[in-house]
Chains A and B, each alone.
Chain A
Amino acid sequence: MKGEKIPHERDIVVETVSRLMIPFIQLFALYVIIHGAGGPGGGFQGGVIFGSSFVLFIIAFGIGRVGKRIPEGILTLLTSLGVYIFAGVGLLCLIFTIGAVQYLNYGFVPLTSHFEENRALCMDLVEIGIGITVMAAITSIFFDLAWGRSEKEEERQ
Chain B
Amino acid sequence: MLEVIVVVFLALGVFFLFVGAIGLLRFPDFYTRLHATGKCDTLGVALVILGLLVYHLFYYSDTPLVCVKLLFLILFIFISNPTATYALMKAAYRTGLKPWKLGDERR
Contact = CB atoms under 8 A, between A and B. Distances in A.
B80 interface: yes
Given A21-B76, A24-B76, A13 B83 contact: yes
Nearest to A16: B83
Contact of B83 (A1, A6, A9, A14): A14
Nearest to B96: A1
A20 B79 contact: yes
Interface string B65-107: 0000000000010011001001100100011100000000000
Contacts of A11: 87, 90
B34 to A, nearest CB: 15
A60 to B, nearest CB: 9
Given A11-B87, A14-B87, A21 B79 contact: yes
A14 to B, nearest CB: 5
Given A1-B95, A1-B96, A17 B79 contact: yes
Contact of B80 (A1, A6, A9, A21): A21
Contacts of B87: 11, 13-14
Contact of B86 (A6, A9, A13, A21): A13
A13 B80 CA distance: 11
A1 B83 CA distance: 25
Contacts of B86: 13-14
Contacts of B79: 17, 20-21
Contacts of A9: 94
Contacts of B83: 13-14, 17
Contacts of A13: 83, 86-87
Contacts of A14: 83, 86-87
Nearest to B75: A24
A23 B94 CA distance: 29
A14 B86 CA distance: 8
Interface in A38-66: none
A20 B76 CA distance: 10
Interface of A: 1, 6, 9, 11, 13-14, 17, 20-21, 24
Given A13-B87, A20-B79, A21-B79, 8 more contacts: A1-B96, A11-B90, A13-B83, A13-B86, A14-B86, A14-B87, A17-B79, A17-B80
The 5 closest A-B pairs by CB, nearest first: A1-B96, A17-B83, A14-B87, A13-B86, A21-B80
